[in-house]
Amino acid sequence: MENDLSNYRRSYDRGELLLSNVPENPLELFQKWFYEVEQFFPEDENNAMTLATISLDQYPKNRVVLLKRFTYEGFIFYTNYNSEKGKAIEANPNVCLSFFWHGAERQIIIKGQAEKISENLSDGYFESRPRGSQLGAIVSNQSEIIENRDVLENELKALEKAYKGKDIPRPNHWGGYLVRPVELEFWQGRPNRLHDRIRYKLRDDYNWQINRLSP
């Protein structure tokens, strides 16, 4: 099989990113971009992000997860702690997040360290989820081999019956991670492949060093 994709190209011309107009704190720029995408490009799922970890077999692995909260501390997502990604984070908490918003011709790449959030925060978010999602977190032994889909469907039906009219407790193996950033790169597509790239690196004094990178 051979497919020549050399003619797949487009010009990027929706915006610009200059050192003269970026804030000192990258989380402020992230917030600005995040809500601009939400407002002007609603077709993009703006909280979908790629999470990269180093698996136990030492290969990098990417998957898309959903950002559920961000603060000046960092970025929070939720998952099964016993999943492949959870085991990878336990062994090596250095991770990379990336957002690509094709409508805005923007991407953000974030390096950081992941850590579990407090149990009460995980409890609070779990309680806010639809019941189906709560039960799904109990049903799924994430990343484990199963015989077929019927295994999941039958377990879900059994749990629906068992918890009918009852609160569903958060399983201990499910909760949130906070990714504390040490580096963020903001990328704005520009014509002629001369894209704008602004990088923030966290210094030892906890201030951010800001540089423009060549495309």
In the prediction, which pLDDT does 160 show?
92
Q: What is the CATH number of domain 19-118+174-213?
A: 2.30.110.10
| pLDDT surpassing 90 at residue 52 | yes
- Per-residue pLDDT at 9 exceeds 80: no
Which residue of the set 131, 193, 203, 212 is catalytic? Answer: 193
In this prediction, residue 46 has a pLDDT band, given cuts at 50, 70 and 90, of: very high
pLDDT of 125 over the 90 cut: yes
Q: pLDDT by residue (tens digit) across 75-102?
A: 999 999 999 999 999 999 999 999 999 9
For the chain, the structural domain boundaries read 19-118+174-213
> Does 170 qualify as catalytic in the annotation?
no
Q: How far is CA 163 from the centre of its chain?
A: 31
Confidence at residue 33, expressed as pLDDT on a 0 to 100 scale: 98
pLDDT at 104 over 80: yes
Q: What is the pLDDT of residue 1?
A: 84
